[in-house]
Structure 1
């Protein structure tokens, strides 16, 4: 399994997240427009901590030409059970292929770990994106108030 590898697509580099990224990843989650309105409560207290980063496969997309190492997006892959736990792209950078790049990287990591599929419980507005990048619908995760007050689509990425 790669632990410090990087992938490059134009000016975007994907690297393994490190503990010092925790606050930036937390801000990205809490500030996401995808979680405005009725979805806001789900992420208002959410925290991506250094311990989470150290214990899971967390990778960040950064702009290679930005000296501040600005995080454009990130994902977290859980290996047991195989699940894409988090995937976020900075609001102002969506539509540039960063999400697709992160998913492709996740599939490579999953394949290297010997996984043949990766489950994702999607935020409802993100279902179309996951389908567009190859995830297949498998069911529905029922609401679990108060943490999650709505049903969520469950999809699966086949890992060939």
Structure 2
């Protein structure tokens, strides 16, 4: 089933609501409160990213259904800094459309390669979007936890 939604740049003042969406989305995978508290910095939408036009919002009616952000890592490499879909909208096409829009945004900003440090639960989604695994990196939220590192051309 597909959800009707629109994708637009996030607006200043929406950082809090979008951060809440990121937290709901991450918590959907059953992480405990201690892990969620350690992950907060990774789930927080930076208002400066919004001001720089690097955050996209998928909207269903007047409610956020997904949020994504990209950041310039230098040497024409950009990363997907945030990518979260509200649990009620998972599996309904929001993520695929948001991903396509984020790729376009990064490409338009000069990206020649996109990297993704993925939650293990999201790796299959990114692979469906065309990303390939290029390695692993240690999580900053959990000791000893390795996260898939993926990449693709925008």
8 Å CA contact 2:7, 2:59 repeated in 1: yes
Q: Distance in 1 between matches of 2:101 and 2:123?
A: 19
8 Å CA contact 1:138, 1:154 repeated in 2: yes
How many residues align? The count is 145
Picking from 43, 47, 55, the partner of 2:44 is 47
Q: Distance in 2 between matches of 1:29 and 1:42?
A: 14
Picking from 119, 125, 133, the partner of 1:129 is 125
Q: Kindly tell me: are residues 140 and 21 of structure 1, through their superposed partners in 2, closer, same or farther at Cα, counting changes over 3 Å?
A: same
Q: Distance in 2 between matches of 1:35 and 1:29?
A: 14
Q: Distance in 2 between matches of 1:53 and 1:35?
A: 28
8 Å CA contact 1:23, 1:49 repeated in 2: no
8 Å CA contact 1:35, 1:43 repeated in 2: no
Which range moved further: 81-90 or 33-42? 33-42
TM-score, normalised to structure 2, is: 0.83
Report the alpha carbon displacement of residue 89 of structure 1 after superposing the two structures with TM: 0.2
Picking from 11, 26, 30, the partner of 1:18 is 11
- Equivalent residues in 2 for 1:106-117, closer than 5 Å: 106-117=102-113
Which range moved further: 39-48 or 104-113? 39-48
Calculate the aligned-residue CA RMSD, in Å: 2.1
With a CA cutoff of 8 Å and minimum separation of 6, indicate the structure with the bigger relative contact order. Answer: 2
Q: Kindly tell me: are residues 35 and 54 of structure 1, through their superposed partners in 2, closer, same or farther at Cα, counting changes over 3 Å?
A: farther
Gaps of 5+ in 1: 1-8
* Alignment match, 2:152: 157
TM-score, normalised to structure 1, is: 0.80
